[in-house]
Copies of this chain bind each other. A is one copy, B any other.
Amino acid sequence: MHDVNVVIAGAAGEGIQTIGAIVSKTVLDQGYAVFTWQEYESRIRGGQNSYSIRISDQPHNTPLIEADILLALNAEAVEKYRPLIKENGILISGESSEGSSIRIPFSKVAKDELGKKIYANTVAVGALIGALGIDLKTLQKEIKNRFADKADEILEKNRLAAEKGYEMADEGCRDLCPWNLPKRDGRFYHISGNEAIALGAAYAGCRFIAAYPMTPSTEIITYLAENENLGVFAEQAEDEIAAIGMAIGASYAGTRAMTATAGGGFALMVEHVSLAGMIEVPVVIVVGQRPGPATGLPTRTSQGDLLFVIHAGHGEFHKLVLAASDPLDAFHKTVRAFNLADKYQIPVMLLTDQFLTDSGFSFEEFDIDGEKPATFLADPDAIEDYKRYQLDDSGISPRLYPGQSKHLVGVDSDEHDERGHITEDLVNVALPMAQKRLAKNKKLKKDVMPPQEIALDEADTVLVGWGSARAALLEALDLLKADGINAGVIHFSEMWPLPDYSFPANKKFWTIESNATGQLARLLRSEYNVIFEGRIHRYDGLPLTADFIRTNFNAKRK
């Protein structure tokens, strides 16, 4: 099938999120894969936001910008988003706007026929489902589920509202709506990056999260706090410094612990990242990227914090930086983050971005098997004289936690001896201890996964990207093929330390990044000596899409 893209536009507070959620669940239940993507302003009411639903028979987890159907909830939304409508696309709108394909006075219908304006959005939902040619039954089922714990009257009114909208769209549609999405037996998971990370953390054995609210990472702690029976102690901290401080304390005390924030909040955690490096206490930090500097564009997306995160922290110590490609990858990377943090007793940063965290991705399978949660604690009974920082060529000393046994566990942010006590003996104690910590990198580097190579054999052009851009890169290959270009992809999702890897010979490399200065390019140049033929940067706060890549590639290549 041809993918169908539905865009719902309106002001914050007008309900596009509820409409979007009901419609996408209905489409999903009809047996299709949906990819949902939101772009919104940093405010609670007003402004103009959109919620896009890409419908396909197989998961296509990257946004389409052009709309087959635009549902606009107000006149301004019509103005702002109308340019997105495809040649044969349609506009569905309420009373307030001109030039619609299908104009349904949602509020009036709701008021007149159902007695209350609040049902207007359900009328709109019905209209959209109607225009898509989906069975009303599927929608009614979803409405029943969603309003199950509301009063009967409310449920009934919503059913009627949906029916009303459905019928009116049916009428209006006639020759306008070619779409037809009959029930099929596809079944998909539909999940966002943050939800996957929260679940991944619980699965990995994380029992403590402290965080300070910050877009786009707030949902991780929110999910864990709401799902209390996962047994994760979730504490909203007074600031980001306290958040990571508590997580490190918890981890020292023997549990897996994490925090989650955005670039600005992470900036406040940097001193503690260095602390974790020094005291060798594992900790996992999710950094959701958004455009900076400073507060920047708080609800938009970016890949602008890569080099900052890699180099964060004073002094020299090892850390691991991962970048999730999509929610399934994010789930597994979260488990990996906890495992490797424990294995090497280091801080691990997991990079996401607003696009990944807020979008809903589809997966046919969501297989949680893969890397299993594994802990790397020493056995207290096997140790006679315990030294927290016992020198070892691997750089890894036996880790116990306080209260676990008779063995005492002391950690110190000063340079220290094997028992964690402050030292000023530069030659005999400080230097070997620094060398011990730095020795970890040898093994760690080998544990890092090399980039994923896609369609390299035939390719003469290779798109090099990272993190959440993966699906867009893959889709771009298809588009470029149509333009007669044989392209492949090298995709990085484990960013630091970089593994041993050689770029293939005789290809032209392009970096594709959601930032202005080409951070991945700089990183790869210094590690692999690779030369880039071209660069595509997007830094307007919107995600990379296949179309954006193709257009820019064609414009820039000679």
Q: Are B42 and A424 in contact (CB under 8 A)?
A: yes
In the complex, whether A297 has a CB less than 8 A from a CB of chain B is: yes
Q: Are B315 and A414 in contact (CB under 8 A)?
A: no
A540 to chain B, nearest CB (A): 5
A:301-324 near B, CB below 8 Å:
302, 304-305, 307-308, 310-317
Nearest-neighbor residue (CB-CB) of A270 within chain B = B267
In the complex, whether A151 has a CB less than 8 A from a CB of chain B is: no
In the complex, whether A18 has a CB less than 8 A from a CB of chain B is: no
Query: Which residues of chain B are near A21, meaning CB under 8 Å?
Result: none
In the complex, whether A413 has a CB less than 8 A from a CB of chain B is: yes
Copies of the protein in its oligomer: 2
Q: Are B540 and A297 in contact (CB under 8 A)?
A: no
A297 to chain B, nearest CB (A): 5
The CA of A297 and the CA of B540, in the complex, are separated in Å by: 43
Q: Are A414 and B297 in contact (CB under 8 A)?
A: yes
- Among A109-117, A172-180, A383-391, A514-522, the stretch in contact with B: A514-522
A315-B296 contact, Cβ under 8 Å, with A42-B424, A268-B271, A274-B264: yes
Query: Which residues of chain B are near A541, meaning CB under 8 Å?
Result: 426, 430
Q: Are B314 and A311 in contact (CB under 8 A)?
A: no
Q: Which of B263, B311, B542 has a CB less than 8 Å from the CB of A315? A: B263
In the complex, whether A59 has a CB less than 8 A from a CB of chain B is: no
The CA of A523 and the CA of B522, in the complex, are separated in Å by: 10
In the complex, whether A529 has a CB less than 8 A from a CB of chain B is: yes
Query: Which residues of chain B are near A266, meaning CB under 8 Å?
Result: 314
Q: Are A274 and B278 in contact (CB under 8 A)?
A: no
In the complex, whether A165 has a CB less than 8 A from a CB of chain B is: no
Q: Are A414 and B540 in contact (CB under 8 A)?
A: no
Q: Are B311 and A293 in contact (CB under 8 A)?
A: no
In the complex, whether A294 has a CB less than 8 A from a CB of chain B is: yes
Q: Are A542 and B426 in contact (CB under 8 A)?
A: yes
Q: Are A430 and B540 in contact (CB under 8 A)?
A: yes
Q: Mark A227-241, 1 if CB is under 8 A from B, else 0.
A: 000000000000001
**Range for the number of chain A residues in contact with chain B:** 35 or more
Q: Are A304 and B294 in contact (CB under 8 A)?
A: no
Nearest-neighbor residue (CB-CB) of A437 within chain B = B293
A:32-48 near B, CB below 8 Å:
41-42, 47
Q: Are A274 and B293 in contact (CB under 8 A)?
A: yes
Nearest-neighbor residue (CB-CB) of A435 within chain B = B516
Query: Which residues of chain B are near A313, meaning CB under 8 Å?
Result: 267, 292-293, 308
Q: Which of B296, B427, B522 has a CB less than 8 Å from the CB of A526? A: B522
Q: Which of B264, B275, B296, B435 has a CB less than 8 Å from the CB of A415? A: B296
Q: Which of B294, B525, B529 has a CB less than 8 Å from the CB of A274? A: B294
Q: Are B278 and A292 in contact (CB under 8 A)?
A: yes
The CA of A20 and the CA of B439, in the complex, are separated in Å by: 40
In the complex, whether A295 has a CB less than 8 A from a CB of chain B is: yes
Query: Which residues of chain B are near A270, meaning CB under 8 Å?
Result: 267-268, 270, 312
The CA of A312 and the CA of B302, in the complex, are separated in Å by: 17
Q: Are A278 and B294 in contact (CB under 8 A)?
A: yes
Task: Tell me the A residues contacting B by CB distance below 8 Å.
Answer: 41-42, 47, 241, 262-264, 266-268, 270-271, 273-275, 277-279, 291-298, 300, 302, 304-305, 307-308, 310-317, 412-415, 424, 426-427, 430-431, 434-435, 438, 515-517, 522-523, 525-526, 529, 539-542
6 tightest CB-CB pairs across the interface, nearest first?
A292-B315, A263-B314, A526-B526, A293-B315, A267-B271, A278-B294
CB pairs A–B below 8 angstroms (5 shown): A241-B268, A266-B314, A268-B268, A296-B415, A430-B540
